[in-house]
């Protein structure tokens, strides 16, 4: 935020510049989530066959049955019951939130690997000017970092400090036509991958 007193009636000039490093960090995070699923298949082959799998072994993410048929060699070394479980997890099998997220993971991973860095846009929310703004945990745009939770800082900000002049928020938006909050997308992708991996835990017991 930069102060410009020479501009009449618009003393505050808000300028948000995107940091190219964000695209790299987000892309690496997406690849790590995608790779975790590949590690799962590698571990399943290692556990069930007692040897290292071939180089082409990985967790397929297919949007159609035809795509899965073409990539079936990626799980060919697995026993039949495990192959069927992975096939049933494919995005084309059902219309669900998990399928949508796996399709999104596939698209973002492929775009980041084969085309360009994931497009990131920075948006700024509206500023609300109020010298006696009373903030609550439900207030839009009020963000208290986790490491400041339950500290004097949080209590002061949530008690109606009269020195508060404006409340605003910044959002990092995922491009590629998704138009979603980046960190929310990453959180949901990570949760989905973790849920899938945990479902195979009994196999390794």
DSSP the chain: -EE-TTSTT--EE------HHHHHHHHHHHHHHHHHHHHHHHHHHHHHHSSPPPTT------SSHHHHHHTGGGGTTS-HHHHHHHHHTSTTT--SHHHHHHHHHHHHHHHHHHT-PPPEEEEEPPPEE-TT----TT-TT----GGGTTSHHHHHHTTT-TT--EE--EEEEETTTT-EEHHHHHHHHHHHHHHHHHHTHHHH-
Evaluate if residue 105 carries a pLDDT over 50.
yes
Evaluate if residue 167 carries a pLDDT over 50.
no
| Higher-scoring residue by pLDDT: 22, 147 | 22
Mean pLDDT taken over the chain: 76
Model pTM score: 0.69
Quickly state the pLDDT bin for 131 (edges 50, 70, 90). very low
């Amino acid at each position: 935020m930069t102060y410009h007193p020479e501009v009449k009636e618009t003393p505050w000039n808000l300028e948000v510049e995107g940091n190219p490093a964000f695209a790299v960090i987000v892309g690496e995070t997406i690849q790590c989530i995608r790779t975790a699923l590949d590690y799962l298949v590698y571990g399943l082959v290692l556990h069930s066959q007692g040897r290292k799998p071939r180089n082409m072994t990985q967790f397929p993410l297919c949007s159609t049955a035809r795509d899965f048929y073409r990539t079936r060699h990626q799980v060919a070394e697995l026993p039949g019951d495990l192959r069927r479980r992975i096939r049933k997890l494919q995005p084309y099998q059902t219309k669900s939130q998990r399928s949508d997220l796996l399709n999104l993971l596939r698209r973002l991973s492929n775009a980041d690997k084969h085309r360009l860095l994931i497009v990131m846009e920075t948006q700024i929310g509206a500023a609300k000017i109020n010298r006696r703004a009373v903030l609550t945990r439900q207030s839009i745009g009020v963000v208290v970092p986790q490491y400041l939770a339950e500290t004097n800082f949080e209590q002061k900000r949530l008690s109606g400090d009269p020195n508060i002049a404006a409340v605003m928020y910044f959002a990092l938006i995922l491009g590629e036509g998704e138009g979603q909050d980046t960190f929310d997308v990453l959180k949901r992708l990570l949760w989905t991958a973790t849920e899938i991996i945990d479902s195979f835990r009994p196999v390794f017991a």
